[in-house]
């Protein structure tokens, strides 16, 4: 299963099951910023280093705010955790990656 298909299953499951008691997190940050880079990769092959490179690349581009980059990371963590809970992944490679610090 590719990361793109995992995101699709995650998004569909949230809507179908009304999984989130509050409005569910949008997949838009992933569609715009993560899936173009990692979406075709098999989800099981994505490593912590891949996620760290994604965050670093988004920051290096200079187009996105720190809050947006952190939103991409948080949403990606949720999707990968969904993959673990549903048996698609053995572990969440983004689990211990900390968000970027906000500027003072």
Give per-residue pLDDT as tens, 4-61.
999 999 988 865 555 555 445 688 999 999 999 999 999 999 999 999 999 999 999 9
Phi, psi (degrees; rounded to nearest 5) at 2:
-80, 165
Q: Distance between CA atoms of 3 and 34, rounded to whole angstroms?
A: 9
| 17-44 burial: b if 16+ Cβ within 10 Å, else e | eeeeeeeebebebbeebbbeebbeeebe
Q: Specify the CATH class of 3-85 in words.
A: mainly alpha
Q: Kindly report the number of other CB atoms within 10 A of residue 80's CB atom.
A: 24
pTM of model > 0.75: yes
Q: Judge contact between 43 and 72, C-beta under 8 A.
A: no
Upper half-sphere CA count for residue 66 (Cβ side, 13 Å)? 7
- The residue ranges of every structural domain in the chain are 3-85
């Amino acid at each position: 299963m590719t990361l793109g298909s995992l995101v699709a299953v995650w998004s569909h499951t949230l809507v179908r099951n009304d999984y989130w008691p509050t409005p569910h997190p949008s997949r838009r940050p992933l569609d715009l910023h993560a899936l173009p880079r990692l979406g075709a990769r098999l989800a099981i092959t994505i490593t912590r280093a891949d996620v760290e490179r994604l965050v670093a690349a988004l920051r290096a581009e200079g187009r996105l705010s720190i809050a947006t980059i952190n939103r991409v990371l948080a949403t990606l963590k949720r999707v990968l955790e969904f993959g673990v809970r549903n048996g698609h992944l053995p572990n969440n490679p983004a689990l211990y990656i900390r968000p970027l610090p906000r500027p003072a």
